[in-house]
Amino acid sequence: MGRKFDVAVGGRSLRVCVSAVDEAWELWICDTTHRLALGQRIEIDDAVLAYRQGHDPVAAAGRLLASQLEQGSLVLDTSAASQPCPRH
């Protein structure tokens, strides 16, 4: 099971999903079925350094993306959604 951050935007349910990729974590903004946009990529080496200092950069990035979506400061172009959202 992966990490996810739910967010409601204009009556629409979106989710920031965390996916493990080669030597990084990617935070994808998804609707219920498709990836809409890559929100951020966090390299594992950077995350490990932050974890050692007591920080959780993946959680911080997920909360930031969710907040930006809620506030409308991050606008998505959903016309190109093609990849399926990772199932959690």
With 0-12 CB in 10 A as exposed, 13-18 as middle and 19+ as buried, what is 28? buried
Looking at per-residue pLDDT, the higher value among 88 and 60 belongs to: 60
Percent with pLDDT over 70 in the chain:
88
In the predicted structure, residue 1 carries a pLDDT above the cut 50: no
Interval 34-62 mean pLDDT: 93
End-to-end CA distance of the chain: give it in Å, rounded. Answer: 5
Going by pLDDT thresholds of 50, 70 and 90, the confidence category of residue 13 is confident
Unique residue bearing structure tokens 């997920």: 62
Average pLDDT estimate for 13-37: 89
Domain boundaries, the chain: 4-74
> Is residue 74 over pLDDT 90?
no
For 54: left if phi > 0, alpha if psi spans -120 to 50, otherwise beta; the answer is: left
